[in-house]
Amino acid sequence: MSFIVKVNGSQLFVEAPGQDKFEVFPEAEDKLFVKVAPAQVTFEKDENGQIAKMNLHHGGRAMPAKKIN
């Protein structure tokens, strides 16, 4: 699955294919929550401390997506 992550000022948005973008809000350094749905977004770092992967947790499923530069 692919997601688009965008920063607009101090706001962070995630967009899933075929869906509207939604704002995510920080809960921890690597964990965010969504207000419009019962969902969470987590980021995983690589051995160099750089974000390498994102997971969207929704409906009991984790939808992973690798970072593409």
CB neighbour list of residue 21: distance below 8 Å, 6 or more residues apart: 4, 6, 13, 14, 15
pLDDT at 14: 93
Residue bearing tokens 């995630």 = 14
Answer yes or no: is pLDDT of 51 > 80.
Answer: yes
Range of the domain at 25: 4-66
In the predicted model, what is the mean pLDDT of the chain? 92
Number of structural domains, the chain?
Answer: 1
Residue bearing tokens 């948005």 = 13
Mean pLDDT of 32-56: 94
pLDDT at 20: 87
Mean pLDDT of 1-28: 91
